[in-house]
Structure 1
Amino acid sequence: MNATERGIREQFALWNKLAPNDVTPSSERMQVVVGCGTSVHIADSIAVALNAHGHLARAVPGNEWTRRRGDYVPLEAPVEVVALSRSGESTETVAAARVSRAAGTPVVAFTCAPGSALCREADRLVEAETHPEEGIVMTASASLMLLMGLRYAGVTVGPETTRAAEALLNAVDPVLPGLIEGRSHFVFLGGGSYYGVAREGALKMQEMSLSQSEAHHPLEYRHGPISLIDERSLVVFMYHPDTREEEAVLAEDLQRKGAKVLGLGGPGTVSFDVGGDVEAGALTCLPVLQLLGEYVARMKGLDTLAPRHLTKVVTVA
């Protein structure tokens, strides 16, 4: 077991260690959740939770917010920026926070790096301790920032969710080697809060295993991307409780076309229940997606501690 896998398997104690706090959204300002890479995918799921709890929200990549705020939110709209960065040093995210504060927009920062540049650009701060062995690829820190964001939105996330996520990972673990055998095309499907996590699953697959991967809202997959499905495809389907029946019809179609389907919360080639709080389902599923990337990398003889072309912190002079 390498350090990446240890970080995935040992992250649950860190979830329980993250104490609730009193940092909550401003009721008078739209929430703009910014980040880069993994963080902007996590931001998507956080924005969904914020909207579900009555806070108008959207996710925006860091540099897009810095350079094109008016393309995403009317310039006169009152806004609060929620900035996500594991290291607190990502150039685009720090710039987005700095520009926001200069314009009089308050900034809330979620990070795993106390004392970092992002912390200095924040009006309010939420910090978490991530796994000490976490390398370039974000695993435990991604889960922790999603946990921070769900609580910030008003979702109650406690030990029940932690137990459900660890139980799901342990249940899925033994079937993963058989599912990935002979598969080189990986698809992640999820709607609502699961969509951001689906994008993160696809990114993990690319970073860790250099594999072809993609993410979509489930029913959008019929509109073009399904043309790529064949016997080389593995689909990770994160079912939304609201649309489970119609999503199950799609899963059957994908299997007829040659794909294997890992059903999380619904039917597939293999399927597993997703326990815990329904609103925290995306968090519950995330460690499974991380472990899947590690297993595919291992199958291909790749070292996830040294992913190609990547650095732990993206900084631009």
Structure 2
Amino acid sequence: MNATERGIREQFPLWNKVGMGDIRPDPASVNIVVGCGTSVHIADAIAASLNAHGIFSRAVAGNEWTRRPQDYIPRHLRPNVLALSRSGESTETVAAAIVSRRNGLHVTAFTCAPGTSLEKNADATVLAETHPEEGIVMTASASLMLLMGLRYAGISVTPETTAGAEALLNAADPALASLIDGRSHFVFLGAGALYGVAREGSLKLQEMSLSQTEAHHPLEYRHGPVSLIDERSMVVFLYHPDTLEEESLLAGELMAKGARVLGIGGPGTVSLSVTGDADVRPLVVLPMLQLLGEYVARARGLDTLAPRHLTKVVTIA
């Protein structure tokens, strides 16, 4: 077991240490959730969760918010900004915080490192301890920031949630090798807050294993992308309980076209149940997606501690 896998498997006790203090969103304000790379996918899931709980929100990539905020919300709105960065030093995210405060906006930071540039340019900070062996690829830290975001939205994340996530990872573990065998095309499908997690699963597998990956809203998949499905495809279906019936029909169609389907919360070539309310499902499924990336990389003889072309912190001079 390498350090990447240890970080994935050993992250669960860290979840139960996270405290939010008294940091909560202003329900009367628009919220912009900013991040880069993994963090912007986590931001997407957080924004959807905030919206579902009555707090109007939008996820925006760091440099987009710095350079063209008017393309994402009308100029007259004065949003609060939630900035996500594992290191607290990602150039685009720090710049987004600096510009936001310069414009008189309130900035809250979610990070996994103390005393950073992001914290110095935020009005409030939530800090979580991540796994000490986490390398370039974000694993435990991504889960921790998503956990913070769900709690920020008012969702109850409990030790039972943690136990459910660990149980899902352990249930998926023995099935992954046979699912990925001979597969070179990977698709992640998820609706609502699960869409951001599907995007993160796709990114994780892409950067860890140099695989061809894509992520979509489930029922959008018939509208063009399905043309790529064949016997080389594996689909990770993150079922939403609200749309289980129609998503199950799609899974059946994909399996008939040659895909193997890992059904999380619904039918598939391998089907796994998910415990907990729908609100926490994005968090519960995330470690399992991280483990999938590690296993595909290992099957290809790749070292996830040294992913090609990547650095732990993206800084731009």
TM-score range, shorter chain: over 0.9
> SS of the counterpart of 1:13?
helix
**Cα drift, residue 22 of structure 1:** 1.3
Report whether the alignment pairs 1:96 with 2:86. no
The answer as to whether partners of 1:208 and 1:307 remain within 8 angstroms in 2 is yes
- How many pairs are equivalent? 317
The answer as to whether partners of 1:248 and 1:267 remain within 8 angstroms in 2 is yes
Query: Given residue 282 of structure 1, which amino acid in structure 2 is its aligned partner?
Result: P
> SS of the counterpart of 1:222?
coil
Residues 91-170 of structure 1 correspond to what in structure 2 (within 5 A)?
A: 91-170=91-170
Q: Which residue of structure 1 aligns with residue 248 of structure 2?
A: 248
Query: Given residue 31 of structure 1, which amino acid in structure 2 is its aligned partner?
Result: N
Instruction: Please give the alpha-carbon distance, in whole angstroms, between the structure 2 residues aligned to 1:18 and 1:40.
Output: 20
**Cα drift, residue 17 of structure 1:** 1.2
**Deviations, residues 242-301 of structure 1 (Å, cap 9, x unaligned):** 000000000000000000000000000010111023201010000110000000000000
> SS of the counterpart of 1:214?
strand
Residues 51-62 of structure 1 correspond to what in structure 2 (within 5 A)?
A: 51-62=51-62
The answer as to whether partners of 2:235 and 2:261 remain within 8 angstroms in 1 is yes
Q: CA RMSD in A?
A: 0.6
Instruction: Please give the alpha-carbon distance, in whole angstroms, between the structure 2 residues aligned to 1:192 and 1:295.
Output: 27
The answer as to whether partners of 1:187 and 1:233 remain within 8 angstroms in 2 is yes
Query: Given residue 285 of structure 1, which amino acid in structure 2 is its aligned partner?
Result: V
Q: Which residue of structure 1 aligns with residue 177 of structure 2?
A: 177
Deviation beyond 2 Å, 4+ runs, structure 1? none
Query: Given residue 188 of structure 2, which amino acid in structure 1 is its aligned partner?
Result: F
Q: Which residue of structure 2 aligns with residue 83 of structure 1?
A: 83
Residues 159-308 of structure 1 correspond to what in structure 2 (within 5 A)?
A: 159-308=159-308
Instruction: Please give the alpha-carbon distance, in whole angstroms, between the structure 2 residues aligned to 1:257 and 1:141.
Output: 36
Report whether the alignment pairs 1:72 with 2:69. no
Identity score, percent = 73
**Cα drift, residue 107 of structure 1:** 0.1
**Cα drift, residue 19 of structure 1:** 2.4
Instruction: Please give the alpha-carbon distance, in whole angstroms, between the structure 2 residues aligned to 1:105 and 1:80.
Output: 6
Instruction: Please give the alpha-carbon distance, in whole angstroms, between the structure 2 residues aligned to 1:242 and 1:62.
Output: 31
Instruction: Please give the alpha-carbon distance, in whole angstroms, between the structure 2 residues aligned to 1:222 and 1:277.
Output: 28
> SS of the counterpart of 2:68?
helix
Q: Which residue of structure 1 aligns with residue 25 of structure 2?
A: 25
Choose 24-33 or 106-115, whichever is displaced more: 24-33
Q: Which residue of structure 2 aligns with residue 13 of structure 1?
A: 13
Query: Given residue 290 of structure 1, which amino acid in structure 2 is its aligned partner?
Result: Q
Q: Which runs of 5+ in 2 are unaligned?
A: none
Query: Given residue 287 of structure 2, which amino acid in structure 1 is its aligned partner?
Result: P
Q: Which residue of structure 2 aligns with residue 45 of structure 1?
A: 45
Q: Which runs of 5+ in 1 are unaligned?
A: none
Instruction: Please give the alpha-carbon distance, in whole angstroms, between the structure 1 residues aligned to 2:227 and 2:6.
Output: 37
Instruction: Please give the alpha-carbon distance, in whole angstroms, between the structure 2 residues aligned to 1:277 and 1:305.
Output: 34
